[in-house]
Amino acid sequence: MDSDGNDMLAIEVIVPQSAPRRWQQVAIERLEADGHDVAVAHRPGPAIWPAAAKAAFRFEQRLFHRRGPLLGSAVQAIPARPGNRPAALRLDLAGDAALSNVPTIGLRFDGSSADLQAAIAVAAGRLPVIEAVLDNKTVVGQARPMVDKRESTALGTEDVFARAITLVQSLTRAFAADRLPRETVAAIHGRGERGRFTSAYLGAALPRLGREALRRARFRHAHWRVGYRFADAPGVADTGKLGTGWSVLPDPGDHFYADPFPFWWQGRPFVFVEDYPHATGKAVISVVPFDSSGIPEKPRVVLEETHHLSYPQVFEHDGAIWMLPEASASGRLMLYRASGFPDRWMPETVLVEGEISDATLFEQDGMLWLFATDRDGHGSTSDTLVVFSALALGGPWRPHPANPILIDHRMARPGGAFVRNRDGRVLLPVQDGTLGYGGGLGLSELLELSQQTVRLAAPLPIDATDDWPYPKIHTLNRAGRLEVIDGIAAVRKRSGKK
Q: What is the pLDDT of residue 3?
A: 39
Domain boundaries, the chain: 10-217, 220-488
Q: What is the pLDDT of residue 172?
A: 97
Q: Note whether 14 and 94 are within 8 A (CB).
A: yes
Q: What is the pLDDT of residue 1?
A: 41
Q: What is the pLDDT of residue 2?
A: 40
Buried b (16+ CB within 10 A) or exposed e, 276-302: bebeeeebbbbbbbbeeeeebeebeeb
Q: What is the pLDDT of residue 497?
A: 39
The CA distances from residue 286 to 298, 309, 434, in Å, are: 10, 10, 30
- Tens of pLDDT, residue by residue over 299-346, are 999 999 999 999 999 999 999 999 999 999 999 999 999 999 999 999
Q: What is the pLDDT of residue 4?
A: 43
CA–CA dist 49, 114 (Å, integer)? 10
Nearest in space to 142 (alpha carbons), one of 327, 374, 355, 406: 406
Q: What is the pLDDT of residue 363?
A: 97
User: What are the strands, taking DSSP E only, across 150-283?
Assistant: 224-230, 247-248, 255-265, 268-277
Q: What is the pLDDT of residue 188?
A: 61
For the domain spanning 220-488, the CATH number is: 2.115.10.20
Q: Which residues of the chain have pLDDT under 70?
A: 1-7, 45-47, 187-195, 495-498
Task: Say whether 237 sits in a helix, a strand or coil.
Answer: helix
Pick the CATH number of 10-217 from 3.30.1490, 3.30.70, 3.40.50, 3.10.620: 3.40.50
Single-letter residue type at 121: A
Q: What is the pLDDT of residue 496?
A: 43
